A and B are shown apart, each in its own frame.
Chain A
Amino acid sequence: MAKKSFYHFLGCIIPHRYPSVEKAVKLVFNDLDMGLLDMDGATCCPAPGVFGSFDRITWATIAARNLTIAEAGGHPITTGCNGCFASLWDANYELKHDEELREIVNENLAEIDREFKGTIEVWHYVDALVEVAGLDKIRKKVTRPFKDVRMVLHPGCHWMRPKLLKQKDDSERPHIFRELCETSGAEYVPYKDELMCCGAGGAVRTADIKVALEFTMQKFESVKEAGGADMMITPCPFCELQLDLGQVEIQKHFEKEYVLDILHVVELLALAFGHEPDEFGLATHLQYQLRKSTPLWEKLGIKVEES
């Protein structure tokens, strides 16, 4: 079977703030024999909360420009960000189904000699991993299972909602993301507010960081009530930023201390596949840099040489 390749839509936060995710996904896709192609000249998706809230036409036009880059090369897009996924998937869907919007957008795109044709699909890393590689193949690659590690999940919102539109998972009782994370061998620990938003989306983090952090704190408290966890896994770098850097910000604004390692699902898999944390720079997460700390290796069950 020919190797399946995707245009890799980076977005903003992965390449500019959490590059460890960019490196980790390259390792993981390579291990699973899936290709990632550079998407030259892609821009911000654009941020669905800000742009979608400001002007739907501009939002759809800039998203469509990104889609045309992939259309030209004829491969689907994959992205590891729920926000980028929300913009690109939703815009792709709306442009395919809304004639009027498509006409306006194409009139705008004509300005830069581009045209939305509607010939490609947008996949989240999670979709590519589960549907193209498959859980069995992923399980076979796991050489360093997270034995006895308590794992909580933060699936986030826009990969699976709105559920009638996305038709991926039951957003009240999702199981796909959990099954993917469980291939790592870690123990899934449910908590009450697992499906609650991290607080960053919808332009709220930009509007009022304290309100955004209150969401995050509620989630952390809920994890505590469930008996605590050794790590939290998310499929989104914006959630990751909110949950990781957010711990430092919570300390500053609310004088509350939470210490929890936050991993993107591809970082989890890179480790489970036997890659060393240094191979993709797990310790570069902003939480560690600002606190001058390191991941809690012992809790994660990973042996590292002290440097």
Chain B
Amino acid sequence: MTSAEEKTAIEIDTPDDSFVQMIKKTGGPNIQNCYQCGTCSGSCPAGALTNFLVRGIIRKALLGLKEQCISSPELWYCTTCYTCTDRCPQDVKPTDVIKAIRNVAVAEGYMLAPHQKTALKVLETGHAVPLDKESWENLREKVGIERIPPNASKYSEAIEEIKKLAKKTGFDKLIAVKEEK
């Protein structure tokens, strides 16, 4: 999805604003204030380095083009640096909009395998970056602190609690079922 490709006309038969409503719920109320000035994209380091165009995604969302928004791989190039959010003259909070669109994407099965793995690690160990090798424990000893820190690496009850919470919110299913996509 480059800016040039975007110049082709977009045809919409049935305007559907349910997508925008979903985004507003998780990402904040102001997306419809966007007047496409491009301050966000102009500030965006991801936009400068890749095809990711935050203004374009917001436009598509406003047009109800859900599938195009959630299936685009570029959606995952935003580092959530919040520069656009600090600069947007209309208080759209583009970063939160992007995160909201990602929430929808994930709910519909668009999840990258490495992200799924990271999420699974949290459910299994309590940590996204776990203490999973003896060498990491050695490293701790070398700097002069206890081999195992007082977090979930030490307290397995904590992991049990996280598993219960993930079950309650349905997160365990969210990251388990869609292994193929």
Contacts and interface: CB of A to CB of B under 8 A. Distances in A.
Given A16-B153, A211-B77, A46 B169 contact: no
Given A23-B144, A43-B162, A52-B99, A206 B130 contact: no
Contact of B136 (A16, A39, A51): A16
A215 interface: yes
Interface in B67-98: 76-83, 85-86, 93, 95
B126 interface: yes
B165 A108 contact: yes
Nearest to A170: B86
B19 interface: no
Interface residues of B, number: 63
Contacts of B49: 211, 214-215, 218
Nearest to B27: A56
Contacts of A196: 45, 81
Contacts of B107: 55
Nearest to B78: A202
Nearest to B143: A281
Contacts of A195: 83
A105 B169 CA distance: 9
Given A54-B103, A157-B80, A161-B81, A12 B129 contact: yes
Interface string B110-134: 0110110011001000111111000
B127 A43 contact: yes
Contact of A161 (B86, B119, B136, B145): B86
Given A53-B106, A65-B161, A111-B164, A200 B79 contact: yes
A207 interface: yes
B40 to A, nearest CB: 13
Contact of B106 (A41, A55, A211, A214): A55
Nearest to B96: A162
A41 B143 contact: no
A9 to B, nearest CB: 9
Contact of A211 (B50, B99, B152): B50
Interface string A83-116: 0000000000000000000000000110110000
Interface in A95-149: 108-109, 111-112
A65 B165 contact: yes
A246 to B, nearest CB: 13
Contacts of A44: 122, 126-129, 152
A44 B165 CA distance: 14
Given A17-B136, A38-B150, A157-B80, A47 B111 contact: no
Given A65-B162, A207-B114, A280-B143, A42 B151 contact: yes
Given A62-B162, A204-B46, A12 B128 contact: yes
Contact of B102 (A10, A54, A111): A54
Contacts of B80: 48-49, 52-53, 157-158, 201-202
Interface in A130-185: 157-158, 161-164, 171-172
Given A58-B166, A58-B169, A112-B161, A50 B81 contact: no
A73 interface: no
A43 B129 contact: no
Max chain B C-beta neighbours (<10 A), residue from A53, A108, A172, A206: A53
Nearest to B105: A53
Given A10-B149, A17-B136, A201-B79, A55 B174 contact: yes
Interface of A: 10, 12-13, 15-17, 19-20, 22-23, 26, 38-44, 46-58, 61-62, 65, 108-109, 111-112, 157-158, 161-164, 171-172, 195-197, 199-204, 206-208, 211-212, 214-215, 218, 279-281, 284
20 contacts: A10-B149, A15-B131, A15-B149, A15-B153, A17-B136, A44-B126, A50-B119, A52-B80, A55-B169, A65-B161, A112-B164, A158-B80, A161-B81, A171-B83, A199-B45, A200-B79, A203-B76, A206-B112, A206-B114, A279-B144
Given A56-B100, A62-B162, 4 more contacts: A15-B153, A47-B128, A54-B111, A196-B45
